[in-house]
Structure 1
Amino acid sequence: MPGPRSLRQIRAIIAVCEEGSFTRAAARENATQSGISQHVSAVENALGVRLFDRTPAGVTPTPAGQRYYRRCVEAIGLLEQADEEVRALAGAVAGHLRIGLMPTFTRAALTPTLQHFVGAYPDVRLQIVEAYSGILTEQVLADELDFAIVPAFEGRTGLKSRLILRDREVLISGRASGFKPLAPVRLADCAPLKIVVPGPENVRRRNLEVYFQSHGVAIDRIIEMDAMMATFDLIARTDFATILPGLICINDIGQGALVINTIDPPLYAEFIVITPARRTLPAPARLFLQRFEADLAQMEKRLAGLLKGNRKR
């Protein structure tokens, strides 16, 4: 009967499976490539099963390797959960909390949660990174963030995810576009749009392109821009428009130079929380997320009320 695996062997299996390379796994674990290879070979020899297929193009887990990887992740998670439970006995919430958010959330939704969290947990050191989904996903995979909130996507090895928000997208334009504020707009019936869209690596870009094609939306000109503040400034000054989740502009409805319209048929954006598969959320992250989700739910109710109430005018 094979003996128990060492923690280093378990971490080596996880790293190779997630990185797809002995070299990258070694760099991640601050080990040598030969050391990682030896750990993996030792486990394979003990089990009598090949866990990885090795080819010049890289390393891929076998079906047995995929199953073993999932169990290794569970084992590491249980150890981290035990650590968190013991820390909780001390009654103090402390540590370094690293969060990744898109501009969709930092522009309007973040501050209410921060106002509560900073006062309630003064011993937590907060680090908040604003970026788009591709960058945030890579940072979570590299264990540089405790969690990030990004548009829903197919998923990747090394990540855990769950749905946190389903938000209705809206058309945002300036006065020069000529849209009546808060009136529902059927984009297929509009003149060809001048539109600002995110870059091709952004998940929302693909969703927008599918919507335009399937609903016969004519496009006059496209500007790719992954810079939210510049996007808002451009559309306020020109006849360009953009389509964004309604949450980002909740404080702009009926205010200032921006015009907000619901679009018909409706388009929705789904957002997920992603975390490293090999880690358990630390207590500060769990507490922050609980408050953030509650605040998001309240803002979504407010947004729905604003859009519904103004459609009746």
Structure 2
Amino acid sequence: MAQIPLRQVRAVIAVCEEGSFTRAAERENATQSGISQHVAAVERTLGVKLFERTAGGVTPTPAGLRYYKRCVEAVGTLEQAAEEARSLGGQVTGELRIGLMPTFTRAVLAPVLEDFVPRCPEVRLHIVEGYSGLLTEMVLDDELDFAVVPAFEGTIGLKSRLLVRDREMLISGPKRGLPELKAVRLADIEPLKIVIPGPDNIRRRNLDTYFQSHGVAVAAMLEMDAMIATLEFVARSDWVTVLPSVISVNDIGGGELIVNPIAEPELSAEFVVIQPTRRVLSTQARLFLERFEQEVAHIHDVWDKAIGRKTMLRQRRA
């Protein structure tokens, strides 16, 4: 059987992921006619139609989608082999572009950098803070090596794996008068004046579902996709917000913000690492993620001890 050149395989991958010959050509630094010719050549070699062409773009046929998935696996294997060969050189070098939500930049990032930067001084590190929509688009556009975002349904061109399942916490200021670290039911918080993300945020949908499913009556709602402003407003007022435990660990015992675990039932959020389907993680990316996951696990240990210690003190007083 005739061999299909790698440039033709990459053209098929690009068209499938971009849904357009024009965008695929831009991505591959090629002409639209060149990409179209590559795809047509693959279709002739295979004897099967890979894409349905319409005025609105192109979509893969069932055969095209299956071929795309196999091609991505094959290209990934080649990139993995190249990365393993480079890693045998010993020193970790190169560029590393990471996207993180404010959930992780506030408490997780600094300890990771404190360890990672001295260990990998030759790595050119670039970190972007943003919310899930922006970071996902940047990964799809190959502007980031990976990003950490809330779990979602999935998109062609992206692969993901679970990073952490994190417990959500109620965050309030001293004016609200809640006892620190005591488990609370959101349905019992009256009046519930809450700052929440905007409707395009994945976490917002989870919160709305939780409110509706568990009889949580919201007296007032303020939409804000600005983490620092949210925390400062909550600290100064009797409003509250709901955030994952990893962002609030440094607030334990601080006095400016009061943190309470949400109970009956607990509320959790899942976060995933996303990266382009066609790429493998570099050595520097894997080292960063390993240290990142260690720090998240450490934060969970801190929370387990803090909540457990508070529970034991209440039991003794009772």
Structure-1-length-normalised TM-score: 0.97
Measure, in 2, the Cα distance between the counterparts of 1:246 and 1:89.
38
Query: Does the aligned pair in 2 maintain the 1:198–1:225 contact within 8 Å?
Result: yes
Q: Map 1:273-288 onto structure 2 (within 5 A).
A: 273-288=273-288
Query: Does the aligned pair in 2 maintain the 1:184–1:311 contact within 8 Å?
Result: no
Shift in Å, 1:171 = 0.3
Query: Does the aligned pair in 1 maintain the 2:174–2:255 contact within 8 Å?
Result: no
Show the counterpart of 1:293. Answer: 293
Show the counterpart of 1:217. Answer: 216
Deviations 1:283-303 (A, max 9, x none): 100111111111211111111
Q: Map 1:138-217 onto structure 2 (within 5 A).
A: 138-217=137-216
SS at match of 2:33: helix
Measure, in 2, the Cα distance between the counterparts of 1:268 and 1:177.
23
Query: Does the aligned pair in 2 maintain the 1:192–1:217 contact within 8 Å?
Result: no
Measure, in 1, the Cα distance between the counterparts of 2:141 and 2:3.
27
Measure, in 2, the Cα distance between the counterparts of 1:275 and 1:183.
38
Moved more, 123-132 or 185-194: 185-194
Q: Map 1:92-171 onto structure 2 (within 5 A).
A: 92-171=91-170
Deviations 1:105-148 (A, max 9, x none): 11001111111111111111110111011111111111111111
- The residue type paired with residue 151 of structure 2 is A
Shift in Å, 1:89 = 2.0
Count of residue correspondences: 312
Deviations 1:223-277 (A, max 9, x none): 1111100000000011111000011000101113111111121000111111110
- The residue type paired with residue 33 of structure 1 is Q
- The residue type paired with residue 46 of structure 1 is T
Measure, in 1, the Cα distance between the counterparts of 2:242 and 2:229.
14
Q: Map 1:68-83 onto structure 2 (within 5 A).
A: 68-83=67-82
Show the counterpart of 1:267. Answer: 267
Deviations 1:70-109 (A, max 9, x none): 1111121122112112212211100001111111111001
Shift in Å, 1:308 = 2.2
Query: Does the aligned pair in 2 maintain the 1:182–1:310 contact within 8 Å?
Result: yes
Shift in Å, 1:28 = 1.2
Q: Map 1:14-93 onto structure 2 (within 5 A).
A: 14-93=13-92
- The residue type paired with residue 271 of structure 2 is F
Show the counterpart of 1:307. Answer: 307
Measure, in 1, the Cα distance between the counterparts of 2:290 and 2:252.
27
- The residue type paired with residue 130 of structure 2 is A
- The residue type paired with residue 300 of structure 1 is H
Show the counterpart of 2:316. Answer: none
Deviations 1:10-54 (A, max 9, x none): 111111111111111111112111111111111001111001111
Measure, in 2, the Cα distance between the counterparts of 1:94 and 1:255.
39
- The residue type paired with residue 279 of structure 1 is R
SS at match of 1:143: coil
Shift in Å, 1:205 = 0.4
Structure 2's unaligned 5+ residue stretches are 314-318
Shift in Å, 1:185 = 1.0
Aligned CA RMSD, in angstroms, stands at 1.1
Query: Does the aligned pair in 2 maintain the 1:164–1:273 contact within 8 Å?
Result: yes
Measure, in 1, the Cα distance between the counterparts of 2:214 and 2:147.
32
Structure-2-length-normalised TM-score: 0.96
Shift in Å, 1:150 = 0.6
Shift in Å, 1:310 = 1.7
Structure 1's unaligned 5+ residue stretches are none
Deviations 1:132-172 (A, max 9, x none): 11111111111111111111111111111111111100000
Query: Does the aligned pair in 1 maintain the 2:43–2:50 contact within 8 Å?
Result: yes
